[in-house]
Copies of this chain bind each other. A is one copy, B any other.
Amino acid sequence: MTTDVSAGQPATIDFWFDFASNYSYLSIMRIEAAAAQRGVTVRWQPFLLGPIFQALGYTTSPFVAQKEKGAYVWQDMVRECRKYGLPWVRPSAFPRHSLLALRVALVGVQQPWIGEYCRQIMLRNFAQDRDIASADDVGEVLTQLGLPAAQILAEAQGDANKLGLRRQTELAQARGIFGAPMFFVGDEMFWGNDRLDDALAFCATMNA
């Protein structure tokens, strides 16, 4: 299906994600190719899931707080990654500290490197079992992409960008986001990697 842009706005999906979220890993790896197939543009919306969970009464990930659900999730991830042909190593630390990596993502949301940056951060977390917290961790990913790591890290940690990420999280909360990944097509909300294809199909239909 192609999108008839002349019929209205270009088809756009808002993609809310946190690098700490294992189901966001699946969507981050898949979304650019899947969206391109349907003529849909991805708007990357990094945010911090932690404060959202805290407001819902969780002190950590629900997958950690609920032992049974947590055990299931790792089983499910093995099968899901096999289904999508993605590498998978269960992280020895979960959820990983994602604040700096998300701040860098916010710097990149309008840049051509955003998709590949997000994929490399997620592979590091969920396929290589490596930390993504420090400037060294994130800088290594940026450098590998041929980007000016020091300059981007400085911008990411500047006051304006810090405030920007805080605003993203507040906006997520205001929109009723309670988990990740979350997709919006206009006001229509779709929760979880399991709904990515439905969200893209809906998006393409809305703009056809």
Tell me the A residues contacting B by CB distance below 8 Å.
56, 66, 68-69, 71-72, 75-76, 79, 83, 176-179, 188-191, 194-195, 198, 202
The minimal Cβ–Cβ distance linking A165 to chain B, given in whole angstroms, is 21
A-B contact pairs, 14 of them (CB 8 A): A56-B68, A68-B177, A68-B178, A69-B178, A71-B176, A72-B176, A72-B191, A75-B188, A75-B189, A76-B190, A76-B191, A76-B195, A79-B202, A83-B198
Q: Is the CB of A68 within 8 A of B198?
A: no
The minimal Cβ–Cβ distance linking A197 to chain B, given in whole angstroms, is 11
Assembly stoichiometry (copies): 2
The minimal Cβ–Cβ distance linking A107 to chain B, given in whole angstroms, is 29
A71 proximity list for chain B (CB < 8 A): 176
Q: Is the CB of A178 within 8 A of B72?
A: yes
A178 proximity list for chain B (CB < 8 A): 66, 68-69, 72
